[in-house]
Amino acid sequence: MSILRLLVGLASGVLFGFGLAFSGMMDPGRVEAFLDITGPWSANLAFVLCGAVLVASIGVQISKRMRHPVLADTFNLPSGTTIDARLLCGAAIFGLGWGLAGFCPGPAVASLSLGLPIVLAFVAAMSVGMILHDRLAKSRNR
């Protein structure tokens, strides 16, 4: 991997982390305020989502006009289009974890910079879950 690709990846991660911090998405309370429709509901997360969809849709339109990415030979796009039980279970587990903890993977990793024990515990548990999933998937494919 070239140094340029590493630097672009680092800059992208820093920009993403800054966006999460700026929008308040590193605060689990904001996520909980969006998900709690019976309490003091907050639409902040919806605005962040709309902004993300807008930026991503512009990127998708630009990428459709490109033969290959600037720093790679091919685009690495998902090939699966089937909505199956595995996808639905994964989405449910993701949603439950997000709703219970107030974190999804991106904001959780960005929140590591805060050094809070609860964030460290969440990222550790998330990492263990990811490793277990990969091991189980590999053993199932053998």
The pLDDT of residue 140 is 85
32: left (phi over 0), alpha (psi -120 to 50) or beta: alpha
Query: Could you tell me the residue ranges of all domains in the chain?
Result: 3-141
pTM of the model: 0.74
* Model pLDDT, residue 25: 87
Per-residue pLDDT, 141: 81
**∠ CA 111-113-115 to the nearest 5 degrees?**
90
Determine phi and psi for 69, rounding to 5 degrees.
-65, 160
Q: Which pLDDT score is estimated for 3?
A: 92
The letter for the amino acid at 97 is: G
What does the pLDDT profile of the chain (142 residues) look like in tens digits? 689 999 999 999 999 989 988 988 888 888 888 888 888 888 888 999 999 999 999 999 999 999 999 888 899 888 888 999 989 998 998 888 888 888 889 899 999 988 889 999 999 999 999 999 999 988 888 7
